[in-house]
Homo-oligomer: A and B are copies of this chain.
């Protein structure tokens, strides 16, 4: 029985019915059709041969079905991880070379091991380091970068670069080489796909189609574009006119095996793999949580680490590259009625069959159409409204978000997300290192005490109460001392000082050190030090020390009681 949390499949396999099978099978069919062009497109975005994208959509899906906790998450290659893989592997070898493909494999293995390790150590909380504004800013900036990087396929020119500036500059210098048939196909595909996204769903609804079916058809836009463009290119022999096509894809299933072990190379890729893991995890978990909430199901973030880790690891062992749960694909899976992770297994079978039998028919698929599907997909990730919302709400959050966006666009994805994470941690510590504090008084007619600056409250001249609005920990220990000494220096008539602690959630060793110093100093100055509304867990900690024995004053359950008692003594 102890195995069950690590094998969520045991929870659902025993209640599996033929009805569930039909639902899962239907969803798998739709997701497979959608996933074929996606896999090819994302492999292209990652700078990898097309079959790598297909391989990343077979075994990883089965692994996730065994270990993942979401019933409806659709795992596979995604845009952001493809971009990050390209950035990391590009540091090792030129795109498409053997060393590059090997690096992508190693990234998948390392990222799988890293995620599984975190899961086994129950360290899913590490993903919390990525704050909402940082993630949102990173995804927006990556979306812009990816869209820009695909423009060369739409224009039919060769361009390169890892930053927005480099890409745009490179595109401009190559503008003279535009291949017009390619541009016609690419622009046509773009317009068609944007129309599918924006206008088709309301149209279908108007025609009386059910909402779910309309959503699925809308999302299947790329499939229509793929079929139409293949027919067009093959019919008009446009590949002879400079339109780059997918070409021959090997009709083999992936071979299993560990990538070559080279300690130096693996170490070089370890940092990138860790970043890929965390970004992929956060992206996937937020999708999985949203979908689970809709059906009142739950996911277990620590087990998700194991599930996604197993998926990436098996991608690395089967000639794939890093994968995670994708947003659009999971939504289609959900809408199409997937009930259990078995849908993922059926999808994997579908992709394997497609690899064996369908790829010859994709020979004439223009790269421009794949690029168009990528552009349309990633531009839906760009969220400008969110930037304005964060700006209005919190300048500190905006600073972290703005730094993430601008550094990602100007210097690349890895340094971008690291800057955002670093900055949000520093800002958080900065904020807590200078906590808000208030001198408080009694709200008349109540036992409630509030800030004298914001409320009309009653105070006493010989009793000073300060409510400090932060846990007392190393980052603000000195600040508290300074503040209290200064307040007491300004009000020499005070005989009783009360530190009101409803907001003190923790006192660490540095905070205790400060409290002891304050107690000592106040004793010298003839002022008592009292605490009120100290929480249970904080009090438990203080009781383990001798602080309370030496306390030059009392601890009161409530602030009201403290003032009543001390007033009687003045």
A residues adjacent to B (C-beta < 8 A): 125, 128-134, 289, 293, 301, 389-390, 392-394, 396-397, 401, 424-425, 428-436, 438, 443, 446-448, 450-451, 453-454, 469-471, 473-478, 502-506, 508-510, 512-513, 521, 533, 535-537, 541, 544-545, 557-558, 560-561
Smallest beta-carbon distance A516→chain B, Å: 11
Specify which chain B residues have a CB less than 8 angstroms from the CB of A535 in the assembled complex.
436, 438, 451, 469, 503
Specify which chain B residues have a CB less than 8 angstroms from the CB of A541 in the assembled complex.
393-394
Specify which chain B residues have a CB less than 8 angstroms from the CB of A505 in the assembled complex.
432, 435-436, 469-470, 503
Let me know if B131 and A509 touch, CB within 8 A: yes
Specify which chain B residues have a CB less than 8 angstroms from the CB of A397 in the assembled complex.
508-510
25 residue pairs from A and B, CB less than 8 Å apart: A125-B434, A128-B475, A128-B477, A129-B429, A129-B475, A130-B474, A131-B509, A133-B508, A133-B509, A133-B510, A390-B509, A394-B508, A397-B508, A397-B509, A424-B474, A425-B429, A428-B474, A432-B471, A443-B558, A446-B447, A448-B558, A448-B560, A454-B536, A502-B502, A503-B503
Bound CA span A268–B188, Å: 53
Let me know if A544 and B392 touch, CB within 8 A: yes
Specify which chain B residues have a CB less than 8 angstroms from the CB of A396 in the assembled complex.
508
18 other A-B residue contacts (CB within 8 Å) besides A389-B509, A448-B558? A125-B434, A125-B475, A129-B429, A129-B474, A131-B508, A131-B509, A132-B477, A133-B510, A293-B521, A392-B545, A393-B541, A397-B508, A425-B429, A447-B448, A448-B533, A451-B536, A469-B505, A502-B502
- Closest residue of chain B to A510 (Cβ to Cβ) is B132
Bound CA span A471–B469, Å: 10
Let me know if A128 and B435 touch, CB within 8 A: no
Bound CA span A513–B136, Å: 12
In-complex Cβ contact of A450 among B133, B470, B557 (8 A) = B557
Smallest beta-carbon distance A560→chain B, Å: 7
Bound CA span A471–B506, Å: 12
Let me know if B544 and A393 touch, CB within 8 A: yes
- Closest residue of chain B to A468 (Cβ to Cβ) is B505
Closest 5 pairs between A and B when the two form their complex, measured CB to CB: A131-B474, A132-B510, A502-B502, A447-B447, A448-B558
- Closest residue of chain B to A128 (Cβ to Cβ) is B475
Known pairs A443-B558, A448-B557; A512 contacts B393 (CB<8 A) = yes
Specify which chain B residues have a CB less than 8 angstroms from the CB of A504 in the assembled complex.
503
Bound CA span A536–B436, Å: 10
Let me know if A128 and B433 touch, CB within 8 A: yes
Specify which chain B residues have a CB less than 8 angstroms from the CB of A432 in the assembled complex.
471, 505-506
Let me know if A446 and B560 touch, CB within 8 A: yes
Bound CA span A541–B314, Å: 46
Let me know if B128 and A476 touch, CB within 8 A: yes
Specify which chain B residues have a CB less than 8 angstroms from the CB of A476 in the assembled complex.
128
Bound CA span A477–B453, Å: 30
Specify which chain B residues have a CB less than 8 angstroms from the CB of A401 in the assembled complex.
509
Let me know if B132 and A509 touch, CB within 8 A: yes
In-complex Cβ contact of A509 among B393, B471, B503 (8 A) = B393
Bound CA span A432–B505, Å: 9
Smallest beta-carbon distance A555→chain B, Å: 14
Let me know if A131 and B390 touch, CB within 8 A: no
Smallest beta-carbon distance A473→chain B, Å: 6
Smallest beta-carbon distance A381→chain B, Å: 17
- Closest residue of chain B to A486 (Cβ to Cβ) is B298
Specify which chain B residues have a CB less than 8 angstroms from the CB of A545 in the assembled complex.
389, 392-393
Bound CA span A492–B413, Å: 45
Q: Which of A396, A447, A502: most chain B Cβ within 10 A?
A: A502
- Closest residue of chain B to A449 (Cβ to Cβ) is B558
Smallest beta-carbon distance A118→chain B, Å: 13
Let me know if B447 and A560 touch, CB within 8 A: yes
Specify which chain B residues have a CB less than 8 angstroms from the CB of A132 in the assembled complex.
474, 477, 509-510, 513
Let me know if A128 and B443 touch, CB within 8 A: no
Smallest beta-carbon distance A377→chain B, Å: 23
- Closest residue of chain B to A500 (Cβ to Cβ) is B502
Smallest beta-carbon distance A470→chain B, Å: 5
Let me know if A125 and B446 touch, CB within 8 A: no
Smallest beta-carbon distance A292→chain B, Å: 11
Specify which chain B residues have a CB less than 8 angstroms from the CB of A394 in the assembled complex.
508-509, 541
Specify which chain B residues have a CB less than 8 angstroms from the CB of A470 in the assembled complex.
505
In-complex Cβ contact of A436 among B443, B450, B473, B537 (8 A) = B537
Bound CA span A129–B476, Å: 10
Bound CA span A129–B424, Å: 14
- Closest residue of chain B to A542 (Cβ to Cβ) is B393
Specify which chain B residues have a CB less than 8 angstroms from the CB of A533 in the assembled complex.
448, 502
Specify which chain B residues have a CB less than 8 angstroms from the CB of A561 in the assembled complex.
446, 448
Bound CA span A504–B502, Å: 9
Smallest beta-carbon distance A322→chain B, Å: 23
Let me know if B508 and A473 touch, CB within 8 A: no
Bound CA span A397–B472, Å: 13
Bound CA span A164–B474, Å: 28
Bound CA span A444–B425, Å: 42
Specify which chain B residues have a CB less than 8 angstroms from the CB of A289 in the assembled complex.
478
- Closest residue of chain B to A558 (Cβ to Cβ) is B448
Let me know if A430 and B125 touch, CB within 8 A: yes
- Closest residue of chain B to A293 (Cβ to Cβ) is B521
Bound CA span A561–B509, Å: 37
